Amino acid sequence: MTTLWFEQYASDALYNSVIDGFAADEQMVASEKLLMILELAAREILLVETEDEYLAEVAELLSSKDAAEITDWLSNQPLSITDSLRERLDRTILQIQAQLQV
Amino acid sequence: MPSPSASKTFSLQLLEEIYQKKQQEFALKFDKVAPTTPIRDPRPTPEPERDEIFAKLEAAAASLSIMPEKELLYLEQQVSDLLGFEISSSLDGQRLTHSFGKMQALDEFTLQPTQFETVASVRGAAIKRGRPSLGWDKQFLDKNEKQYLLANHLVLLEDWHQKYAHYKNWYKWRKLLLINPFNRIAVVVELASYTLPNPMQFQFGGSPDLIRASQAWSPEAQGLVCVFFIPDAVNSKPGVLKL
> Which residues make Cβ contacts (< 8 Å) with residue B75, sequence separation at least 6?
B53, B56, B57, B60, B67
Average pLDDT over residues B125-154: 69
C-beta atoms of B22 and A40 within 8 A: yes
Backbone angles phi, psi at A41, to 5 degrees: -65, -40
CA distances from A100 to A74, A79, B142, B239 (A): 31, 32, 38, 38
In this model, does residue B139 exceed pLDDT 70? no
Contacts 24+ apart (CB under 8 A), B167-170: B167/B94, B167/B194, B168/B134, B168/B135, B168/B194, B170/B92, B170/B94
Per-residue pLDDT tens digits for B161-188 = 888 888 888 898 889 999 999 999 999 9
Q: Supply the ipTM of this predicted assembly.
A: 0.90
Band (B3; pLDDT cuts 50, 70, 90): very low
Pick the residue from chain A with its C-alpha nearest to B14.
A100
pLDDT digits (tens, 9 = 90+) for B59-79: 988 887 778 888 888 889 888
Choose the closest CB to A23 out of B8, B15, B18. Answer: B8
- What confidence score (pLDDT) does residue B123 get? 52
Cβ–Cβ gap B33/A47 under 8 Å: yes
Per-residue pLDDT at B37: 41
Between CA B237 and CA B79 the distance in angstroms is 18
Set out the domains of chain B in order of their start, with CATH numbers.
36-242 (2.40.40.10)
What residues of A are in contact with residue B15 (Cβ under 8 Å)?
A: 30, 33-34, 37, 96, 100
The reply to whether residue A100 touches residue B22, judged by beta carbons under 8 angstroms, is: no
CA distance B33 to chain A (A): 5
Tens of pLDDT, residue by residue over B94-112, are 889 999 999 999 887 766 6
Q: What is the pLDDT of residue B112?
A: 64
Q: Cβ contact (<8 Å) for A41 and B22?
A: yes
Higher pLDDT, A53 or A22: A22
Range A87-90, long-range pairs (CB < 8 A, 24+ positions): A88/A41, A88/A42, A88/A44, A88/A45, A89/A6, A89/A9, A89/A10, A89/A11, A89/A38, A89/A41, A89/A42, A90/A10, A90/A11, A90/A14
Least confident of A52-61, B128-137, B147-156: B128-137
Residue B74, chain A, CB below 8 Å: the answer is no
How confident is the prediction for chain B on average, in pLDDT?
A: 79
Chain A residues lying within 8 Å of B9, measured CB to CB: 21, 100-101
pLDDT class for B32, splitting at 50, 70, 90? low
Q: Is residue A52's pLDDT more than 70? A: yes
pTM of the model: 0.55
**Binary contact (A59, B22; C-beta < 8 A):** no
How many whole angstroms separate alpha carbon B74 and alpha carbon B79? 9
* Chain A residue set in contact with B, beta carbons under 8 Å: 18, 21-24, 26, 29-30, 33-34, 36-37, 40-41, 43-44, 47, 52, 55-56, 59-60, 63, 96, 99-102
CB contact under 8 A, A22 and B10: yes
